[in-house]
Every structure is written in structure tokens, then in C-alpha cells.
Structure 1
Amino acid sequence: MSLWGDLEKLKRCRWVDLTHPLTNESPYWGGIPDGSVELCKTVFDYDEEMLSCRIHTYKFPGQLGTHVDFPMHFVPGRPAAEEFGVEQSVYPLCVIDISGKVAETPDYAVTVDDVLAYEEEHGRIPEGAFVALRTDWYKRWPSYDALCNFDEEGGEHCPGWSIETLKFLFEERGVAMNGHETFDTDASYLAVEADDLAVERYVLDTCHLQVEIMANLDKVPPAGAIVFVAWPRIEGASGLPARVWAVCEE
């Protein structure tokens, strides 16, 4: 049976890029050493050696820009990139919007009650879904200081997930992947209290994938869209920049 008719239907839908653009000035997590990013370095240029073409090399940390984290990122012995195939690149998309609460409380951590309120309005989150957390934090890109939201003492104040909420989603709803707009999975105050990124560690220890530093979640509906997550096929990778996009009805 031909799928071409389905493709034509998808082409009539609205396509939303959920990925930040990258340049040599793009922000990244502060623990990554300086000099780790060198994009589009020309190593072969037009009219050289009678072959007119341009070739670039790219140097970047796996966790640059919008990226996917693989379990071995935090947990030794857990799967790396090669363990995940193309069948794990498309999902139903559910977007939980806590942007209003974040505007009042930047440290806000999404709760199970927030998820239940979402389901009351939009229906039960389906098994195998990608659940994204909308905070509108992506609008702070590309300012590193704004993304970290430092206070006068240098402490970060960013929204994020709570471990109770992700346990509910993965264990009670059977979702496949989570995503968010911030550098970290954990809300800042939870990371400070635990002295660890315990929420992210839970996600990766249970062999799930996640996408960080997403964009434009305010441009897709809370339910009904399809999300695609694509990354380079590099074996042994703990994380890789990703191209992420949603397809939704007009």
C-alpha cells in the first residue's frame, strides 16, 4: 500500500522547527571547556587543486544547542547513540504548558497535578508519547546569562521537571521521551537541594532519551501533533545536536 497519499496530507499541515540555530557564538552548558566549539572551519576551498568545492569541519560537544541525550551521558554502562534506531525518531507530541507559572516563579518545577490538569483538558497522554515541557524559556536564547538566570550570588533560577512528575509519565503513562527548553532537566532549586541533577539521572538511568534546549513549543498545539527527532549516526556518542520538528494540523 502506498504511503504517498499520507505524505501529501502531511505536506498540507503546518511544520514547526523546534530547533535553535547554531553558530560559533551559541551558548552551551558552562561546564564544557572553552574552545570546544568550532563550526564551519574551511579546510578545502573553491579553486584549490583544480577541484572547485568547499569542505568544512565541525568541532562541537554532544550537548550543543538543541540536542538529544543518550543514557550513557550520565550512567556508565547504559546505551549510547548506536543503540537507538530510526524507529525511535517519531512520536505523538504532548506539550504541557507551565509558562504562566514560570513567569511568576522562574524556579517552578512541573507537578503531577499539572499533568493531570493537562489530561483533564486534552485527554490521557498516550503510551509512547514525547512529552515536552513548555516554559517559553527558549525566548532567552542566545543569551547564556538569561538562560541561566543568575542571581546576585551566581545561583541559577530555571524551571524544569520534578522526579515525581517524570516517574509518573514514564511509569504510569508509559511515555517514550521527554523534552524541555532549558539547559538542564531539573528545576534549579531541586538540583541545589539534591546537590545533583537527580531528575536527569533518573531519566537516563531508566534508558530513556530526552531532548534539551528546545524552541518554539508555543507554536504547536498541546495535543495532536507529531514530533520528529533526528541526529547524526555517530557510534559511542553520549549526546548529539538534533534537528527536531513538529507537524500539526492548521
Structure 2
Amino acid sequence: MSLWQDLEKLKACTWVELSHPLNNQSPYWGGIPDGSVELCRTVFDYDEEMLSCRIHTYKFPGQFGTHVDFPCHFTPDHLSSQAFGGKQMAMPLVVIDLTSKIAANGPDTAIEVEDILAWEAEHGRIPQGAFVALRTDWYKRWPDNDALNNFDEEGGEHCPGWSIPALEFLYEQRGIAMNGHETFDTDASYLAVEADDLAAERWVLDHGHLQVEVMCNLDKVPATGAIIFVMWPRIEDATGMPVRAVAVFEE
């Protein structure tokens, strides 16, 4: 059976970019050493003898820009990049909007199970195998690193994010395939401070799941009905890798 007609239907849909553009000034996690990013370094140029072409090299951390984290990111001997193939790169997309709760309670806000149940009461049960993205509109702070971290006067971070009970519910009760968010970290900042650890991120990865961080444009995607494609380079033993993520949906 040919899928060509299905492809033509997809091409006629709306496509939304969910990945940030990257350059040598793009922000990244402060613990990564300086000098870890060098994009588009020319190693062969148009005026070289015999063959006129330009070749670049690219140096970047795996956790750079919009990126996927593999389970081995936090724990040795857990699954790395080669354990996941093409079938893991296409999923139904669910977008849970947390912006009203953040507006009411401030940036130190976490999504809880009751927020998910309220979302389901309006939109229906989250399907098994879904990618669940947490919309906070935090992406609008890109590429201002200080704004993304939302530092206070003492250098503490104040960012919204996930709670462990919410993630446990989604993976164990709804059987989702992947979660994503717009911030640098999975955890709501205040929960990370209380735990003295990125405990929510550790839970996701230690249970063999994947997540995508530093997403964008989730406000341009419907709550249900879209498909997300998350593509990364096929580099073995990677703990993380920048991704090209796009959403496709019918208006």
C-alpha cells in the first residue's frame, strides 16, 4: 500500500518549528565549560585548489539548544542513543498549557496530577504513546541566558517545570512515550532546591524514558491532534543530542 497520498496530506497541513535556531552565541547550561561551542568553523573553503567547496566542522555539547536526553545522561550503563530508532521519532503530540497557573502563582510553579486531570476533563484522555509537552511560554526568553534561568539577587533560579508525581502519572498511568518542556531543566526550580537534585529529570531518565528540553512555539500548536517528529543525528553512545522537532496539524 502506498503512503504517498498520506504524505501529500501531511504537506498540506500546518507545520510548526519546535526547535530554537543555534549559533555561537546561543545559551546553554552554565556547568558546561567555556569553549564547548564552535559552529561553522571553516576547514575547507571555496578557493582551495582542485575542488572549490566549503566544509565546516561543528563542536557543541550534546545538551545544546533544543535537545533530547537519553537515559545514560544521568546514570552510567543506562540506555544511550543507539537504543532508540526511527519509530521513536514520531508521536501524537499533547500540549498542556501551564501559563495561567504561572501567571497566578509566579514562576516557581510545577505541574501536578490535578492539572493533568483538569486538562483531560477538557480535552479527553491522553493517548498511550504520546509526547506530552509542557507549555510555559518560557521559550520567549530565548536567547537571554539570565532570563531563561530567571536568577534572583542571590543567583537562585526560578523556573516552572515538572513534579515527579505528574511524570509518574503520565508514564505509568497513561503510558506516554516522551515528555518535553521549554526550560533548561525538567524540574521546577523550587522542587530541585528542596530535593538538592534534579530529581524529576533523574526519575525520567532512570526509568528508561526520553525527554526533549528547551522547546519553542508550543503556543502555536493545538492541545491535541498534532503529530510531533523529533529527529537527532545517529551518533552512538550519545547522552544527548540537539534535535530538529516539528509539529504537524490540520487547521
TM class, shorter-chain normalised?
over 0.9
User: What is aligned with 1:188?
Assistant: 189
Structure 2 unaligned blocks of 5 or more: none
Calculate the TM-score normalised by the size of structure 1: 0.99
User: What is aligned with 1:157?
Assistant: 158
User: What is aligned with 2:82?
Assistant: 82
User: What is aligned with 1:120?
Assistant: 121
User: What is aligned with 1:241?
Assistant: 242
Using the alignment, how far apart are the partners of 2:8 and 2:121 within structure 1?
A: 33
What is the number of residues matched between the two proteins? 250
Using the alignment, how far apart are the partners of 1:238 and 1:20 within structure 2?
A: 20
Q: CA deviation at 1:49?
A: 1.8
Using the alignment, how far apart are the partners of 2:102 and 2:26 within structure 1?
A: 24
Structure 1 unaligned blocks of 5 or more: none
**2:65 corresponds to which letter in structure 1?**
G
2:156 match: secondary structure: coil
User: What is aligned with 1:218?
Assistant: 219
**1:121 corresponds to which letter in structure 2?**
E
**1:20 corresponds to which letter in structure 2?**
H
User: What is aligned with 2:111?
Assistant: 110
Q: How does 1:123-162 map to 2 (within 5 A)?
A: 123-162=124-163
Q: Which moved further from structure 2: 52-61 or 95-104?
A: 95-104
1:179-202 CA-partner distances (Å, limit 9, x unpaired): 000000000000000000000000
**2:178 corresponds to which letter in structure 1?**
M
1:33-54 CA-partner distances (Å, limit 9, x unpaired): 0000000000000020221100
- Provide the identity percentage: 74
Using the alignment, how far apart are the partners of 1:114 and 1:137 within structure 2?
A: 18
**1:14 corresponds to which letter in structure 2?**
T
Query: Please, what is the CA RMSD of the aligned residues?
Result: 0.6
**1:240 corresponds to which letter in structure 2?**
M
**2:168 corresponds to which letter in structure 1?**
K
Q: Does 1:206 align with 2:203?
A: no
Q: How does 1:28-43 map to 2 (within 5 A)?
A: 28-43=28-43
Q: Which moved further from structure 2: 18-27 or 104-113?
A: 104-113
Calculate the TM-score normalised by the size of structure 2: 0.99
Structure 1 outlier segments of 4+, above 6 Å: none
2:87 match: secondary structure: helix
**1:236 corresponds to which letter in structure 2?**
D
User: What is aligned with 1:19?
Assistant: 19
Q: CA deviation at 1:103?
A: 2.7
1:181-236 CA-partner distances (Å, limit 9, x unpaired): 00000000000000000000000000000000000000000001000000000001
Q: CA deviation at 1:75?
A: 1.2
Using the alignment, how far apart are the partners of 2:208 and 2:79 within structure 1?
A: 7
Q: CA deviation at 1:12?
A: 1.1
Using the alignment, how far apart are the partners of 2:234 and 2:11 within structure 1?
A: 26
Q: How does 1:45-60 map to 2 (within 5 A)?
A: 45-60=45-60
Q: CA deviation at 1:76?
A: 1.1
User: What is aligned with 2:3?
Assistant: 3
Q: Does 1:73 align with 2:73?
A: yes
Q: CA deviation at 1:153?
A: 0.7
User: What is aligned with 1:170?
Assistant: 171
Q: CA deviation at 1:170?
A: 0.2
Q: How does 1:84-103 map to 2 (within 5 A)?
A: 84-103=84-103
1:74-112 CA-partner distances (Å, limit 9, x unpaired): 111111101100010000000000012223410100010
Using the alignment, how far apart are the partners of 2:243 and 2:50 within structure 1?
A: 35
1:56 match: secondary structure: strand
1:178 match: secondary structure: strand
